[in-house]
A and B are shown apart, each in its own frame.
Chain A
Amino acid sequence: MSSDYVIEPIEESDSKNEWIIRFTGQMGFAGAGPLIREIGDRIREEKPERVTADLEGVRYFDDYGALVLYELGKVVDQTEGSWSVRGADEEIQGFLSGADFTQDNTCTFARKKRSTNMFIRIGDATLKELKNLRFMVSFIGSIILSLLYVIRHPKSLRVSDTINHMERTGVDALPVVAMIGFLMGLIMAFMSSIQLSQFGAEIYVASLVAFAMVSELGPIMTAVVVSGRSGSAYAAEIGTMKISEEVDALYIMGFDPTIFLAVPRIIAAMIVVPMLTLFSNLFAIGGGLLVGVFMLDLSLNTYIDQTLYALTLKEVFWGMFKSSVFAALIASIGCLRGFQARGGASAVGTAATSAVVTSIFMIVLFDSIFAVFRSYW
């Protein structure tokens, strides 16, 4: 049940521009909006000189009712009329005197404003990034020291946690990595065959697929999948632990959070991601083989021989080395973003997103560095 109203011009008045607004029913939150809009619009339109709100028929009144009267009073003021209230019982009087809407509301919704000055904003952003960089450098240092500590004290490694992370990062990712590898091989073989067949060089499809996957695309694609699956999970897990003070509890109990949380994840990733890359390469070669045998009429033996001819053990190890570096990057960045999480639930989401974006950027950056290094090697 909401409020109803009738607007009555006072007939005995000299001026026709005097109103009584008779409110009836309940003046609570239901219907408050339409009352303010409808009556306010009429007042603005007809500009009465004097308006009286009659509350005798009101059965329920709370601060939403008081808000309606306050807002209408403001509109009457704006149209240079006069506003009064009558028929308010003791309870309504209480609400009207207690509803302090006239106070300053500037600090309620005012967002902390960012400066409009470009130099200040650039400066702020630079300082923020420097602070971020400082945390990153100290975290990398902490990881290196923790890994050295674990090498010197192998018992300090949480083996069960490491195995658990190996399973989650490696075994659980195998189906998706295998599928993506297979499809990549298939696509590469198909696309390259269109060009190579013009020169009768279909046989080199096998070399291209094998070389490209093992030395470049296998490590990159696997790293991208792992950063999406596991890097974000690391950030979300550690971020949640940070927000719920579990990381602080570990620290107070004498555990080093880096050794307890980050090292098992980094070691697990560095072990399983190169293996995943190998599987990805194998499935990609399988995809290429399917196209070579069924579309290009190459024999199985010819395709395998050409693949083995194109590959060297050095290429395979180079790809696995890169994978291992990518794995260390993904796990470290995931843990870093988790440890940086501050605030509430949204901070966990931000940490996970940031972990994936930063990981992919770093993977591509390091791959470029490796490519330059390789060209001079």
Chain B
Amino acid sequence: MGESPIIEVEELVAQYGEDRILDRVSFNVRKGEIFVILGGSGCGKSTLLRHMVGLERAHSGTVRIHGDDISDTDRFHEILKRIGVLFQGSALLGSMTVAENVALPITEYTDLPQEAVVEMVSRKLRMVGLECYGNHLPAEISGGMKKRAGLARSIALNPEILFLDEPSAGLDPVTSAEIDELILMINRTLNTTVVIVTHELASIFAVGERGIMLDKSEKGIIAEGNPKTLKDKSTDSRVRRFFHRGGNGIE
């Protein structure tokens, strides 16, 4: 695993109107790692993710992907080709079938013959276990399948970085574990750097290699490191409460 940072967040300030959500947040994500952004509800996890993928403009500070500033409008389109995003609600286009959703970025950004597009879409759907659901509309499949389909669409172009917003939210433990396995498989086979926003403890420990924890009152990072180490060794009461589901973790 490489040590060079692929994402650099420096002194990021995020605010909506006068309401400051994140105050001078800085951290790096290394190439090839699975990085988790943790924290309780309303601490700004999803806001941070939206700033990292360029959906929101930072009040101040910078986000760099491969050294390119995400706010640089000239480079933004190029950056978009390198990243994939799985939204919390999957964000599949309801008027298109699952296969057409996955084919959308492939037909937009490649000049593959139609037959090759079908081959590639089939492969991506097989990777997420939806090979025979390609002709279904999003409304005709379950929540877990929608997440898988969203994941297939987000890895359609083999992005260097995959951003996942609450990939396990609203899923049963078995489906949630299957999604975790998919994330690990994508990280290994495609060597994709994965950034996950989540507060699901099982997922955090299953896939997270390193991460940061945000806190609502601090409007920033209160802990950084390996999730298991944070759980066992952190002395910060807020971190302990998070990892021990409200308790302090002391037997």
- Partner of A100 from B81, B118, B123, B132 at Cβ < 8 Å: B123
Which residues in A have their C-beta under 8 angstroms from that of B119? 67, 70-71, 101, 105
Give chain B's interface residue range (CB within 8 Å of chain A).
Answer: 20 to 34
Which residues in A have their C-beta under 8 angstroms from that of B113? 33, 36-37, 71
Cβ of A28 < 8 Å from any Cβ of B?
Answer: yes
Interface string of A94-136 (1 = CB under 8 A from B): 1100111101010111111000000000000000000000000
Known contacts A32-B112, A109-B121; A64/B158 CB under 8 A:
yes
Q: A343 near B189 (CB under 8 angstroms)?
A: no
- Report the nearest B residue to A71, measured CB to CB: B116
Question: How many angstroms from the CA of A109 to the CA of B122 in the assembled complex?
Answer: 9
Q: A345 near B116 (CB under 8 angstroms)?
A: no
A63 CB, nearest partner CB in chain B, Å: 6
B145 CB, nearest partner CB in chain A, Å: 14
Q: B189 near A94 (CB under 8 angstroms)?
A: yes
Report the interface size for chain A: residues with CB under 8 A from the other chain: 34
Question: How many angstroms from the CA of A344 to the CA of B146 in the assembled complex?
Answer: 13
Q: B116 near A62 (CB under 8 angstroms)?
A: no
- Report the nearest B residue to A348, measured CB to CB: B94
Interface string of A154-168 (1 = CB under 8 A from B): 000000000000000
Q: A103 near B122 (CB under 8 angstroms)?
A: yes
Stretch at the interface among B42-50, B63-71, B103-111: B103-111
Cβ of B131 < 8 Å from any Cβ of A?
Answer: yes
Q: A33 near B131 (CB under 8 angstroms)?
A: no
Cβ of A301 < 8 Å from any Cβ of B?
Answer: no
Q: B190 near A108 (CB under 8 angstroms)?
A: no
Cβ of B206 < 8 Å from any Cβ of A?
Answer: no
Q: A63 near B123 (CB under 8 angstroms)?
A: yes
- Partner of A29 from B94, B118, B122, B157 at Cβ < 8 Å: B157
- Apart from A32-B111, A105-B119, list 8 A-B contacts with CB within 8 A: A30-B110, A33-B110, A70-B119, A71-B119, A101-B122, A107-B134, A111-B97, A112-B135
Q: Which 9 A-B pairs have the closest CB atoms?
A: A344-B94, A33-B111, A108-B134, A343-B139, A105-B122, A346-B95, A33-B112, A107-B132, A108-B122
Q: Could you show 14 A-B contacts with beta carbons less than 8 Å apart?
A: A29-B110, A29-B157, A32-B110, A37-B113, A71-B119, A101-B123, A103-B126, A105-B118, A105-B122, A107-B134, A108-B131, A108-B135, A109-B100, A344-B137
Taking Cβ atoms with an 8 Å cutoff, the residues of A that contact B are 28-30, 32-34, 36-37, 62-64, 67, 70-71, 94-95, 98-101, 103, 105, 107-112, 342-347
